Amino acid sequence: MAVKSHSIFDPTIIVPAIGDSFRKLNPISLAKNPVMFVTEVGAAITTFLIIAGHGGNFGFQLQICLWLWFTVLFANFAEAMAEGRGKAQAKALRATRTQTFANRLKADGTVEKVAANHLRKGDIVVVSANELIPGDGEVIEGAATVDESAITGESAPVIRESGGDRSAVTGGTKVLSDQVKIEITSNPGETFLDRMISLVEGATRQKTPNEIALTILLSALTLIFLIAMMSLKAFGIASSVDFPISVLVALLVCLIPTTIGGLLSAIGIAGIDRLVQKNVLAMSGRSVEAAGDVDVLLLDKTGTITMGNRQATDFLPAPGVTKQQLADAAQLASLADETPEGRSIVVLAKNYGIRARELGDMPEMTFVPFTAQTRMSGVDMNGSSYRKGAADAIRKFAGGKMPEAVEKDVKAVSSSGATPLVVASKQTILGTILLKDIVKGGLADRFERFRAIGIRTVMITGDNPLTAAAIAKEAGVDDYLAEAKPEDKLALCRKEQQAGHLVAMTGDGTNDAPALAQADVGVAMNTGTQAAKEAGNMVDLDSNPTKLIEIVEIGKQLLITRGALTTFSIANDVAKYFAIIPAMLVGVFPQIAPLNVMFLKSPESAILSAVIFNALIIIALIPLALKGVRFRPLGAARILQRNLLIYGAGGIVLPFIGIKLIDMIISAVHLA
């Protein structure tokens, strides 16, 4: 893809993010985030107290106040960084939209030149070779090769033609040959790219369901700590210890979950951002989250599990025929066959020392195309005719007789799930070509990983059950649906959902659209029809159906990152409590000194260290928030155990060390 992952330390992102951090101090926008809003109010109160001249130790108060502001700024910075990275992606995407004009077809058939951003839905444009396609649309007339590398990064041109499932084109891609008429399908600002850009830029970002639930929990915790501080003040007065407001604010900010509160939106944006890096456009943050919940994947066999088409893998000669002879005949029979199967036969034949032949070399040859009636194809030349095709068709062609051995081969091949093609020259049956679906490499491993995390894979294929079973076994899917008609996809999707599963699927054809809409996560191929793209909630620019797997991982990673940092944030409180509370009391009740388990230098340095740690941890965790917690294909119990250990237990221990270190530093430099 054109868009590359940006380094965390990319200055072109950091510098504007710093500016944005200050802009985001606006309390109205910050109010969306209750935790940080409370922090900002706390910072404002301490500022006011300093200006009003309340409280004794000016240097201490000032430092507390500054670090409280830093806490807010750091949280803003995290969000700004995530947005900045998103914007950088968006900018790269936008670069594909430099098109300035389009040839719009007027009602009277004449063509006018208009600016691309004036095109409306329903407009028809003509695009010729070496012109950029001005907007998302559908080819309604003609066919052309299109260079989509600007979007997919794939340099090989693709064919786009009217009708069928290869009609959709994306704005910003380039027509290499021929001329097509395109009907524009979206208004300016509403294209997929536009929607995606606004999603990463945060303009239309809405909180996802899980994010809302988490925000509620964090707000509740914040409220609890607020009342805890108020009661502490009251108890203090009753015990003749008057806690300074600034210290109470410091304690409050340390105890409320500022770490997760500050990083929450950054995590969400970064999740979408990671999808973009994988060349997937999500239509909402919600769908990314849903991807993490998916536990059933419906996968089309063709294109997802197997390499698009069957390929010849072996020649099985008839008795008395050598492999060489069979290969030679097979190649001749396939020379004019432009289908992938045909080509694979030519390629395989080369392995048997058959030299490559070109159609042009043999002008005397006549091509006999495949028809539904004959169910075979081949060539006639020099009086001899070569045919390949289904066994019964060839038998008829050869006069109704077939050697016993060939019959046996045909049966064996069929029952193994592969497809037999029989080759005949005139009335002589020469042997069988073994055509096999080639399962993509590495799939079995991936499906194994899915099984480990509780995701079931279901293959959908139009093949007969025998073939389907064989491929399913080879690919390692959990289940398959054979002889599936397009409408069966929808039915299967519904059935799985009724059983309580969350379903993800890919699709490209118009008849996939209902199922894509029904699925919890529907990933449309960019090469697919407009209808499919509208129905799904994600578009894969690479049109790589295997991408589903990565999408699910990104969804899970997003949720894990949120959960892990929430746990970490809450666990952190233990150390902060031990830092601040003894410090608040030790002045009046020196007996409480043993509670200062970290042996912090002085009450001031203790409080300051906790506040500084609380602020710095946000910065320290920005890379984790943006990159996400690494996802491992383990069972839920193992993942939980691991994350509880790292973020729960680690979250308790780490701040003890951190606060102690900060305390040593600030005592050494006499800040407190």
Partner 1 sequence: MNQSGWLQLILYVVLLVLITKPLGLYLYQVLDVNGRTFLDPVIRPIENITYRFIRIDARKEQGWILYTASMLLFSAVTAIFTYVLLRYQNLLPLNPQNMPAVVDHLAFNTAFSFTTNTNWQSYSGESTMSYLSQMLALVCHNFFSAAIGIAIAAAVVRGIVRHSSQTIGNFWVDLVRINLYLLLPICIIYAVFLVAQGIPQNFKPYDTAKVVEAQTVQVPKKDDAGNPVKDAKGNVIMVDQKVDTQSIVQGPIASQIAIKMLGTNGGGYTNANAAHPFENPTPLSNLIQMLSIFAIPSALTYYFGRMTKNQKHGWTVWGTMAILFVAGTLVCWAAESGGNPMVQHLGVDASGGNMEGKEVRFGIFNSALFATITTDASCGAVNAMHDSFTPLGGFVPLFNIQLGEIVFGGVGSGLYGMILFIVLAVFIAGLMVGRTPEYFGKKIESYDVKMASIAILLMAFSILGFSGWAALTPWGQAGVNNNGPHGLSEIFYAYSSCTGNNGSAFAGLTANPSNNDPHYDITLAFATLIGRYGIIIPVMALAGSLGRKKLVATGAGTFPVTGPLFIILLIGTILLVGALTFLPALTLTPILEHFLMLNGKLF
Please identify every residue annotated as catalytic. Answer: 300
Selected binder of partner 1 within 640, 653, 664, 671 (CB under 8 A): 640
Please report how close the Cβ of residue 561 comes to partner 1 at its closest, in angstroms: 9
Shortest distance, position 629 Cβ to partner 1, whole Å: 9
Residues in Cβ contact with 237 at an 8 Å cutoff, skipping those fewer than 6 apart: none
Residues of this chain, 570-629, that bind partner 1 according to CB under 8 A: 570-571, 573-574, 577, 581, 585, 589, 591-592, 594-595
Name the residue nearer to partner 1 (CB basis): 291 or 402.
291
In 3D space, the residue among 319, 295, 379 whose CA is nearest the CA of residue 345 turns out to be 379
Closest to partner 1 by CB, 555 vs 603, is: 555
Interface residue with partner 1, options 15, 234, 597, 657 (CB under 8 A) = 234
Tell me the β-bridge partners of 666. none
Of 63 and 208, which has the nearer Cβ to partner 1?
208
Angle at 47 between CA 53 and CA 82, to 5 degrees: 170
Comparison of 235 and 367: residue with beta carbon closer to partner 1: 235
Residues 643-662 contacting partner 1, CB under 8 A: 643-644, 647-648
Radius of gyration of the chain (CA): 33
Distance CA 612, CA 67 (A): 6
Which tokens in the block code for residue 344? 């694979």
Q: How many residues bind partner 1 (CB under 8 A)?
A: 77
The site string for partner 1 over 400-439 (x = CB under 8 A, - otherwise) reads: ----------------------------------------
Please pick, from the candidates 51, 203, 227, 372, the single residue that binds partner 1 as defined by CB under 8 A: 227
x/- track of binding to partner 1 for residues 204-223 (CB under 8 A): -----xx-xxx-xx-xxx-x
CA 379 to each of CA 374, 420, 481, 501: distance values in angstroms, whole numbers, following the listed order: 14, 19, 37, 52
Nearest distance in Å: CB 496, partner 1: 9
Beta-strand pair 296-300/503-507: parallel
Burial of 498 (0-12, 13-18, 19+ CB in 10 A): exposed
Among 156, 372, 637, 668, binds partner 1 (CB under 8 A): 637
Q: Which is nearer to partner 1, 77 or 450 (CB)?
A: 450
Q: Is 230 in the site for partner 1 (CB under 8 A)?
A: yes
Q: Is 548 in the site for partner 1 (CB under 8 A)?
A: no
H helical segments located in 499-635? 513-518, 530-535, 547-585, 603-627
DSSP assignment, residue 440? P
Is the CB of 201 or the CB of 295 nearer to partner 1?
295
Nearer to partner 1, 319 or 594 (CB): 594
CA distance 670 to 580: 19
Query: What 8-state DSSP symbol labels residue 653?
Result: H
User: Which of 30, 90, 199, 251 is the binder for partner 1 (CB under 8 A)?
Assistant: 251
Closest approach, Cβ 209 to partner 1, in A, equals 6
In the list 280, 443, 455, 524, the residue contacting partner 1 (rule: CB under 8 A) is 455
Alpha-carbon gap, residue 582 to 599, rounded angstroms: 11
Phi-psi category of 442—alpha, beta or left, where left has phi over 0 and alpha has psi -120 to 50?
left
Enumerate residues 326-385 that contact partner 1 by CB under 8 A: none
At residue 336, φ and ψ (nearest 5 deg) are: -90, 0
d(C-alpha 460, C-alpha 168), whole Å? 24
Of the residues 635, 657, 661, 665, which one makes contact with partner 1 according to CB under 8 A: 635
Does residue 274 interact with partner 1 by CB under 8 A? no
Q: What residue has token string 């973020």?
A: 647
Interacting span for partner 1 (CB under 8 A) from 26-34, 198-206, 395-403, 562-570: 562-570
Residue 444 in the binding site for partner 1 (CB under 8 A): no
Say how far apart CA 391 and CA 434 lie, in whole Å. Answer: 12
- Asked if 478 touches partner 1 (CB under 8 A), the answer is no
Phi and psi dihedrals of 317, rounded to 5? -70, 155
Pick one of 7, 130, 231, 366: the residue that binds partner 1 (CB under 8 A). 231
Rounded to 10 deg, the angle between the 547-585 and 636-643 helix axes is 30
- Rounded Cα gap, residues 295 and 453, in angstroms: 9
Q: Does 229 bind partner 1 (CB under 8 A)?
A: yes
